[in-house]
Structure 1
Amino acid sequence: MRHRRSGGPRLNHDAIGQALPAAIVAVFFPISLIVGLNNKALLPEKFFYDSATLRSRMPIGDPSSGDSFIVMGWIYRQLGGMNHYAEVQIAQMAIFAILLLTCVPWRRLSTFGPLATAGVLYALVSSAVYLAQYSKESLVVVLVLLLRVLPKHWSMDLAFVGAMAVYAQHIRTYWYIIAGLYLVLRVLLPRLRSMGWLPILALVGYVVMAFGLQAVMGQPLSYARDVVSESRTFSQDAQSAIQNYLPTANPVLGGLNAWLTLATLIVPLPLLLSPNPLYLVFCGVTIGLWVGLVLSLRRLLQAGRLRVDVGLTRAVSMIFALIFAQALFEPDFGSYLRHSLPTMPLFFLVLARAQQLPSRRAPLAARSRTEPNHVV
């Protein structure tokens, strides 16, 4: 009887601790919704420039227009969002929440520690800022959700690449590059045994692209970002502009510059020198997400999970395809955060998958019992 009484409180404490992360996230869902619905009163006007432009383009929306804002305005008008701003805010945040829960179901949230749980809350806050408004990212969230629910057959990866190509054709042309990178990574990642190959392959890829762009267009690899940066030289809203670290006229140096930009997107060292506390929070979360991803992916590669887990491999392919392209096109860190938000739930999927692996200290018999089967 004594043994039962002494064990009871410990078991209850463990159960409360396991339920706490999911309970915190559940409480935070309505809080983030309230913040989203009132974000214009809480944030500077610069956060809503794209939203205001989209709203102004809706009356003249045309799917055949070469202006992405006009095309996106037409999509909102066709979906009935032209005069229903609050409903659009709620719908877009709800879709993001659904995406988040497809990546980390409630039962998996119980395995998250304080830092991972804080990351989920940060994702919800970001959705209240960037998705609770008219936004081109709303379609990217739908694309990533589509990636999560597609059947496992390889033909569905081709269908997803086709969907990204449609988005590229009408909204953002550089998504053609993301679609191509996704396809390459989707084939390559299951064959990798070490994370060390990814930065090497990225550097080689950037140098090859730099030579190709120089030969075809006579432009450096940073051309697209340079054009945007020049138009915003005196803007007060581009305080976190991404600079070139090396001369880009030489293709080799241009490729290396893109590789260094990639490194600073993962570890935003330029922002660490800023006194702005929001930048420091952004740096901390970004570094935390990528450290968690790298450590989790290292374990998953060693366990061979990317060879059998289609959903995991698709998620990792999408994460790296996006950031490899962002190193070429993002003009500033604010845009980087906005554009990468739809893939943030995929980071938590990778973390959750790694936590499903048996502990290295577990007996072999326990490992065989807990080793997951083919996972979607």
Structure 2
Amino acid sequence: MMTDLQSDAGLQARRLVAAAFSVALLALGVILVVWRETLVPEKMTFDSQFIQTIAQGKVVLGSEDKSYGNIGRLYQFLGLGYQPFIASMLGFAIYFILLSGVSHRLAEYRVSILDRLVLVAAAGLGGIFLAQYSKDVIVAMLVALAFYLGRSWISELFFLACALAYATAFRQYWYLIIALYVVLRLVHARWRKLWPLLLVCLAFLAMLAFALPLVAHVDIQSFRLQANADRVGSENAQSMIMPFLEGESIVIGAANTLISFVQLLLPVPMLLLSAQHAVYGLFLITLWSLFLWGVHRGSGLRDLPIAWERGCSLALAMVSIQAVFEPDYGSYLRHLTPLLPLLLFVAVVSRHRPEGTGPRA
């Protein structure tokens, strides 16, 4: 009885610490919103500025441009075209729902100082990239759904339906993320190990490299090369992801894509750029290492929450498809930011879990 009371008291204390920590994360986000012009480099707001001009009706895009056009029209519909502060607060508030949820849930586990620092970095990056006009705010909503939804098949279908709606309205490459996510969930349910998931990611990318020239008559490298065509030599494109091997054959395209996948998981090239990029690179290497080790540790456990299972597949599906489309490491970091809390959740939850217990919601 005394042990149970001590355990309950310890859990309550950890929850109070988690609540106080969440308040600190919220304060960090508010600081970045209020003093954005001073703290955030302008080059990190170019997309936001463009979306705002669309929301204000100053730029009208054709129906073929679903990416920027639809998100601009959504902000316009919400009446936020001339309300950048409210748009910023709304974006971070949506992200904070995920951040605080992860912080609260992790109170049940052993959280190290490094884990806390990762959450602080995630909050800071959210204040930079999501507290503005951004398509990734909706991605943060999708990740929050993946985290909070229950284990039922209705929840799974609802999440997939929302992800498909996002792919249709904003980013068509999310169809590929969804397809790979479903495959990874099925594989993970059968083999609860890390290596089958990585093999599926590599096989999926190789299949794309051979299928795209046959089906769509485009080389898999063309998406990134087209995005970077007008940016070579620009001061704002110092972190461009360039092909590792020269050539345009299908085999070289497949090899370059697989190399890009590895470089996104372990972005060593970022360490060789500027000091700022090196800091981002070390952060990503640390987080992905924690994540992959967390997936590996979870292979022998059967009581992990459904958010952990979704997080494994969603993160790997997204980084795999980013290996095809991301033009530079800056864009990669921005698009990955909504998933950062979920990556840490996967890393932490598989630690010190008892084996042989029943499933968790």
Give yes or no for TM over 0.5: yes
SS in 2 for 1:237: helix
- Aligned positions of 1:78-117 closer than 5 A: 78-105=77-104, 108=107, 111-117=110-116
Deviations 1:181-225 (A, max 9, x none): 111112111212431223322222222211111212332211111
Map of 2:9 onto structure 1: none
Map of 1:354 onto structure 2: 350
SS in 1 for 2:242: coil
**Amino acid corresponding to residue 48 of structure 1 in structure 2:** T
**Mapped partners of 1:180, 1:162: distance in 2:** 12
**Amino acid corresponding to residue 301 of structure 1 in structure 2:** S
**Mapped partners of 2:291, 2:106: distance in 1:** 20
SS in 2 for 1:231: coil
**Amino acid corresponding to residue 71 of structure 2 in structure 1:** M
SS in 2 for 1:219: coil
Map of 2:359 onto structure 1: 374
**Mapped partners of 2:31, 2:78: distance in 1:** 23
Map of 1:65 onto structure 2: 63
Aligned pair count reads 351
Deviation at 1:298, TM superposition (A): 1.1
Preserved contact between residue 93 and residue 127 of structure 1 (Cα < 8 Å): yes
**Amino acid corresponding to residue 30 of structure 2 in structure 1:** L
Preserved contact between residue 224 and residue 325 of structure 2 (Cα < 8 Å): yes
SS in 1 for 2:110: coil
**Amino acid corresponding to residue 35 of structure 1 in structure 2:** L
Which of 321, 324, 327 pairs up with 1:328? 324
**Amino acid corresponding to residue 287 of structure 1 in structure 2:** I
Does residue 1:132 correspond to 2:117, yes or no? no
Map of 1:53 onto structure 2: 50
Q: 1:133 to 1:43 in 2, by over 3 A?
A: same
Map of 1:171 onto structure 2: 170
Q: 1:40 to 1:317 in 2, by over 3 A?
A: same
Q: 1:25 to 1:285 in 2, by over 3 A?
A: farther
Does residue 1:39 correspond to 2:36, yes or no? yes
**Mapped partners of 1:116, 1:19: distance in 2:** 17
Map of 2:255 onto structure 1: 256
Deviation at 1:22, TM superposition (A): 5.9
Instruction: Say which is worse superposed, 105-114 or 129-138, in terms of deviation.
Output: 105-114
Preserved contact between residue 15 and residue 104 of structure 2 (Cα < 8 Å): no
Which of 312, 317, 324 pairs up with 2:313? 317
Preserved contact between residue 225 and residue 331 of structure 1 (Cα < 8 Å): yes
- Aligned positions of 1:287-326 closer than 5 A: 287-305=285-303, 309-326=305-322
**Mapped partners of 1:323, 1:264: distance in 2:** 10
**Amino acid corresponding to residue 342 of structure 1 in structure 2:** P
Deviations 1:14-39 (A, max 9, x none): x9999767645533421331122211
- Aligned positions of 1:128-167 closer than 5 A: 128-167=127-166
Q: 1:186 to 1:174 in 2, by over 3 A?
A: same
**Mapped partners of 2:100, 2:15: distance in 1:** 17
**Mapped partners of 1:357, 1:107: distance in 2:** 12
**Mapped partners of 1:278, 1:47: distance in 2:** 13
SS in 2 for 1:100: helix
**Amino acid corresponding to residue 360 of structure 2 in structure 1:** V
Larger Rg over CA atoms: 1
Preserved contact between residue 25 and residue 117 of structure 1 (Cα < 8 Å): no
Tell me, which stretches of 5 or more residues in structure 2 are unaligned? 1-11
Instruction: Say which is worse superposed, 243-252 or 164-173, in terms of deviation.
Output: 243-252
**Mapped partners of 1:107, 1:196: distance in 2:** 26
Does residue 1:241 correspond to 2:226, yes or no? no
**Mapped partners of 2:308, 2:93: distance in 1:** 23
Q: 1:240 to 1:64 in 2, by over 3 A?
A: closer
**Amino acid corresponding to residue 196 of structure 1 in structure 2:** W
**Mapped partners of 1:112, 1:234: distance in 2:** 43
SS in 2 for 1:220: coil
Pick 1 or 2: higher relative contact order, CA cutoff 8 A, min separation 6. 2
Does residue 1:339 correspond to 2:324, yes or no? no
Q: 1:263 to 1:215 in 2, by over 3 A?
A: same
SS in 2 for 1:104: helix
- Aligned positions of 1:270-289 closer than 5 A: 270-274=269-273, 276-289=274-287
Deviations 1:101-159 (A, max 9, x none): 22331662872111111000000100111111111111111111122233322243233
**Mapped partners of 1:109, 1:91: distance in 2:** 29
Which of 14, 26, 33 pairs up with 1:29? 26
Map of 2:8 onto structure 1: none
**Amino acid corresponding to residue 51 of structure 1 in structure 2:** S
TM-score normalised by the chain length of structure 1 = 0.85
Q: 1:16 to 1:148 in 2, by over 3 A?
A: closer
Deviation at 1:353, TM superposition (A): 1.7
RMSD: 2.7
